[in-house]
Amino acid sequence: MRGSPGGMPAVLKVEIVRRTAVLVYQQADDMLRITVAGPRLISACVKAIEQGVRIPGPGGTGVLEVQSSATFEANVALVLRFLVDHDLGGGRWVELFAEKYRIVTQLEPRATLAQLEVELELALDAAPDCKIIQAIPSDTEAGSAVPPLRIVALEVIADSEAQLNAAACVLMVQGERLPRARAVWLRRETATAEHQDPSTEWDQVTVEVFDPNQAEAAQVFVAWDEEVLVQHLGETLELFDADIILTYDLPETLQRLLGKKAVAKAGSALARGLCRRLTSELKMTAKSNEVSGFAGRLGFDLQKQVEKDHRLTDYSLGSLSEHFCQAPLPELREAALAQLLLERPRAFAQHVLRQAEASLRIFDSLAFLYNFVEMARVTGVPMGYLLERGQAVKVQTQLLQEARRRGFVLPSQRPGTGEETSFEGATVLEPVTGFYREPVAVLDFASLYPSIMMAHNLCYSTLLTPGRELRPECPAHTVSPPASASAEQAACFVSASVRKGLLPSILERLIGARKAAKLQLAKCKPGEDTQRKVLHGRQLALKLSANSVYGFTGAMNGPLPCLELAGAVTAYGREMIQATKKKIETHFVKANGYSHDAEVVYGDTDSVMVRFGSGDDMSLEEAMRLSAEASTVCSAEFPSPVRLEFEKVYRPYLLMAKKRYAGLAFTAADKEPSLETKGIETVRRDWCDLVRQGMEQALQLLLRRDGADGSPEAIAYVRGLCDDLRQNKIDFRSLVISKSLGRNEYANILPHVQVAEKIRKRDPANAPRMGDRVAYLVLAGAAKAKIYEKAEDPLYALEHELPVDAEYYLEHQLKQPLIRVFELVCGDPQKAEQALFGGGGGQKVVFAQSTSSKGGMGMFMKVRPKCLACNTTTAKGDGEPFCAACEGKGSELKQQVQEACVARARQLRDQLAELRAHCKARCSLPSGAFPELAPDA
């Protein structure tokens, strides 16, 4: 699509078209569609039109005087404009029409490094419906196929002075079982002479010739010069020709590769490896770490995407590998890496390679490729938008597509004011708190907000301007409930018989397509793993897209906010929750022949929790039967497609407060239940793992499937946990706390901020950045020391054998969360505290003893011998294994102690053997690995 250089008029074409503005209900009108010579001219054209301007008339005849006028769709991105006008979308297969394209040969000047470059012949002033390309429907076999995309996992390691020490690349082609190629680069001052000449030609990495049933051996390249390493890395990346460049931390990786200049110049080896467009240069903004210039390839930031989709306490690569792939990955600090590179180069090369391979495993385990491809297909946006932008552009693109099909136009987007005009949100019914041993049913509105919008035809295009509903000629319409208690009047929307809204049409298509995808998913046969992943990704994309439409309408800084529309949706939702509560509590009563009076004990946004009866006579089966009946009775009260569904039954159920509860969830009486929690410390990230583990185990003991009283076992467990903590029997990893490092927080004195500053001073290469989660321990210290003074990096504490502050973890981590749970069981908070933490033995705090008397707390501690039988301290220096009292008890006691010691020694030897076998399996190198390097010491 090339225009002639120089002399081209700014306005190429002016046409009169019939269109309907999408904002508020109105009729179609004549509009001018103006085609300009390039996207950079649009803003000037809009400004001129809004102020009044003279332009060439339609068909090039005469001059048209345009008074100050509103504009439509003026700031739609060029790529979206092309996709919408030609009914295309991201992630979709396309067909080119014969005689409308030309393949650019390798001998001709090319614009890209793509394997196949095509020129499409399309005049700049061509009609939008000019067919040069068309999409293959995604619901066909050809259209749903996952392309053989090339994914390159890239890992780069640098030292504290930003000197590049190593890099690794792993090439994986979608659909293949094993990597096609693997390569590692090392920078060593001891590199052999043949590698010290920057002009030395290295062998290329083999890519195309490979055995699909046998992993290719990794190739290793050693250089003394950083520029040589980056040069060959760039050449290899170009050879790999990645569609997706996958890194654990994209900004950090590129920062290390680009160096201080923060740019890869167009035409350089690195730019060609990272970008497919020959004229592109890769840039990185220092302050925001934003990357631009990834033309033709997708830069995938694994850590960022995992943080977006999953709530974890630790997002380090090793933790992600262990959490999602059950594959532990050692994480080494700069000093350990430097020593490994110097002394054991083969192990170092293996470590770097494993880092890259771990990113690939996580990427595959989380099905990112399938999910992103299907999301692009569903929403129509380019895949790059899914990585760079939020939800709004997805809904906007679908709205543009629907508007084009039906002859509507969207107003040009204005910068949002950010001022939130208040409207009342969803209803949360006041909970009847308590510990319910009888079944409590959960009834849930299926896709509540989307179904409300479809049922009541709520849309920009159906909204009546205020006061119009009072006119005699007003079309048939419905009046929504007031958006808030202070609202002067409710919003009105025309009926679907007058005009079906654009948003209801989009939602209807999304929900219908999701039902079809779930049906296909259920029919998948064993062995159809790829098809299963595609369909699961599709139904997930359809669900997320439908649920994000409501949020789009209420986002003040979004492309098209409409608070009347968003307020009407939540107003209907509040009305429905109240109506459901009333219906259940008036229908399921003894007066109507039921054995008990039903009670709604809680309700939140789109669901209600119902107790159909108390006592032992209310079984799970009966509660589920009544739930199904209640779903039918309540659904009949609302217009289609609003539907109340039975979701599950909790038994027992612990309801603590709004949005805070726990229970054993049954979806069927004959299936195993699962423990579900909301709002309590088992699912919150600002507590250490000990709290989550302790809460989960206590709830498992407390919430028994048979309905029996589990409180004695739960209380005993908590008391034992507290004793273990005081006696230093808790794994320190369970005591790690993590918090996110906010912008400009280095000036604060919060514990995680102080730890981040300590790490920055000790190890600048591994210093946390803004947005990272910083892990820390609270160590034992002076009685009046502040928490931030006692906070420390867990690895530093481990290396220096520093003891934790057990009382801090008891008082500020464990105590209050557990009291909040058990107060409903024990009667009140004071009784719960006494039952869990009061009285009894085991109150003495035991600090960890250092194995070394030269470092940490060890230099202040003394080792005192204890009796092997009764554990009392024996006389200093006598060397006897038993105290005087036990010594006189005879040989039988000594025999028992001896047998116990022998058994313990045998157990420790077995554990040591298991650990050695585990380490050997995880860390040993295959024979013949990296023959290019000298053998490890």
Label each residue of 432-454 as H, E or C.
CCEEECCCEEEEEECCHHHHHHH
**Euclidean distance between CA atoms 189 and 238, whole angstroms:** 27
Is the pLDDT at 221 greater than 80? The verdict is: yes
Phi and psi torsions of 790, nearest 5°: -95, -5
What's residue 205's pLDDT? 63
Q: How far, in Å, are 852, 900, 905, 908 from residue 912 at the CA level?
A: 21, 18, 10, 6
Q: Where in the chain is the domain with CATH 1.10.132.60?
A: 682-690+697-862
Is the pLDDT at 67 greater than 80? The verdict is: no
Residue whose C-alpha is closest to residue 277's, from 254, 302, 301, 296: 296
pLDDT-wise least confident of 101-115, 380-394, 764-778: 764-778
Which conformational region is residue 125 in: left (phi greater than 0), alpha (psi within -120 to 50 degrees), or beta? Answer: alpha
Q: Where in the chain is the domain with CATH 3.90.1600.10?
A: 387-419+452-569
**Euclidean distance between CA atoms 900 and 160, whole angstroms:** 51
Structure tokens at 500: 């079906």
Residue whose C-alpha is closest to residue 721's, from 828, 840, 836: 836
What's residue 482's pLDDT? 77
Per the CB < 8 A criterion, the answer to whether 801 and 857 are in contact is: yes
What's residue 698's pLDDT? 94
What's residue 903's pLDDT? 85
**Euclidean distance between CA atoms 780 and 801, whole angstroms:** 12
- Give the mean pLDDT of 638-642: 94
Instruction: Count CA atoms within 13 Å of residue 311 on its CB side.
Output: 7
Total-model pTM:
0.82
Q: How far, in Å, are 187, 247, 347, 918 from residue 167 at the CA level?
A: 9, 11, 14, 27
What's residue 850's pLDDT? 42
**Of 562 and 4, the one with more pLDDT:** 562
pLDDT-wise least confident of 12-21, 280-289, 292-301, 917-926: 917-926
At 461, the pLDDT band (50, 70, 90 cuts) reads: very high
At 865, the pLDDT band (50, 70, 90 cuts) reads: confident
What's residue 811's pLDDT? 92
Is the pLDDT at 206 greater than 50? The verdict is: yes
Residue whose C-alpha is closest to residue 12's, from 106, 122, 176, 166: 122
**Euclidean distance between CA atoms 789 and 754, whole angstroms:** 8
Phi and psi torsions of 496, nearest 5°: -65, -25
As a whole number, the mean pLDDT across the chain is 84
Structure tokens at 313: 């306490």
pLDDT tens per residue across span 440-455: 999 999 999 999 999 9
**Euclidean distance between CA atoms 329 and 410, whole angstroms:** 51
**Euclidean distance between CA atoms 404 and 89, whole angstroms:** 14
pLDDT-wise least confident of 273-277, 303-307, 761-765, 868-872: 868-872
| Helix 302-309, helix 345-365: angle, nearest 10 | 40
| Percent with pLDDT over 70 in the chain | 86
The SS3 of residue 299 is strand
At 208, the pLDDT band (50, 70, 90 cuts) reads: low
The H or E element containing residue 258 is helix 250-258
Exposure of 62 by Cβ count < 10 A (0-12 exposed, 13-18 middle, 19+ buried)? exposed
682-690+697-862: CATH number: 1.10.132.60
Nearest 5°: the CA angle 382, 304, 736 is 165
pLDDT tens per residue across span 527-539: 888 888 889 999 9
**Euclidean distance between CA atoms 435 and 210, whole angstroms:** 63
What's residue 731's pLDDT? 87
What's residue 857's pLDDT? 44
Structure tokens at 68: 């100050």
Per the CB < 8 A criterion, the answer to whether 429 and 608 are in contact is: yes
Q: How far, in Å, are 186, 268, 666 from residue 232 at the CA level?
A: 11, 11, 58
Phi and psi torsions of 238, nearest 5°: -65, -40
Per the CB < 8 A criterion, the answer to whether 171 and 356 are in contact is: no
The SS3 of residue 853 is coil
Name the CATH topology of 150-366: Nucleotidyltransferase; domain 5 (3.30.420)
What's residue 842's pLDDT? 41
What's residue 128's pLDDT? 56
- Give the mean pLDDT of 73-99: 90
Per the CB < 8 A criterion, the answer to whether 503 and 550 are in contact is: no
Per the CB < 8 A criterion, the answer to whether 736 and 777 are in contact is: yes
**Euclidean distance between CA atoms 319 and 266, whole angstroms:** 37
Instruction: Count CA atoms within 13 Å of residue 509 on its CB side.
Output: 14
- Give the mean pLDDT of 92-101: 87
- Give the mean pLDDT of 564-589: 94
DSSP, res 804: B
Compute CA 882 distance to the chain's CA centroid, rounded to the nearest angstrom.
58
**Euclidean distance between CA atoms 894 and 873, whole angstroms:** 17
Q: Within a 10 A sphere around the Cβ of 695, how many other Cβ atoms?
A: 24
Q: What is the dihedral of CA 511, 516, 521, 525, to 10 degrees?
A: 180
What's residue 552's pLDDT? 93
What's residue 347's pLDDT? 87
What's residue 525's pLDDT? 87
Owner of token pair 């407060």? 657
What's residue 480's pLDDT? 86
At 193, the pLDDT band (50, 70, 90 cuts) reads: very low
Is the pLDDT at 666 greater than 80? The verdict is: yes
Q: What are residue 190's DSSP bridge partners?
A: none
The SS3 of residue 829 is helix
What's residue 682's pLDDT? 63
Count of all residues that appear for the chain in the document = 937
Is the pLDDT at 191 greater than 70? The verdict is: no
What's residue 361's pLDDT? 95
Per the CB < 8 A criterion, the answer to whether 661 and 654 are in contact is: yes
Q: DSSP H helical segments within 366-458, as ranges?
A: 368-379, 383-388, 392-406, 448-455
Is the pLDDT at 713 greater than 90? The verdict is: yes
Per the CB < 8 A criterion, the answer to whether 815 and 822 are in contact is: no
Instruction: Count CA atoms within 13 Å of residue 482 on its CB side.
Output: 7
Q: Number of H helices and number of E strands within the chain?
A: 28, 31
Q: Where in the chain is the domain with CATH 3.30.420.10?
A: 150-366
**Euclidean distance between CA atoms 511 and 539, whole angstroms:** 9
At 195, the pLDDT band (50, 70, 90 cuts) reads: very low
Exposure of 414 by Cβ count < 10 A (0-12 exposed, 13-18 middle, 19+ buried)? exposed
Owner of token pair 């009764």? 870
Q: Which CATH number fits domain 387-419+452-569: 3.90.1600.10, 3.40.630.30, 3.40.140.10, 1.10.3720.10?
A: 3.90.1600.10
Contacts for 475-482: CB closer than 8 Å, 24+ residues apart: 475/25, 480/456, 480/568, 480/571, 480/572, 481/568, 481/571, 481/572, 481/574, 481/575, 482/571
**Euclidean distance between CA atoms 525 and 363, whole angstroms:** 24
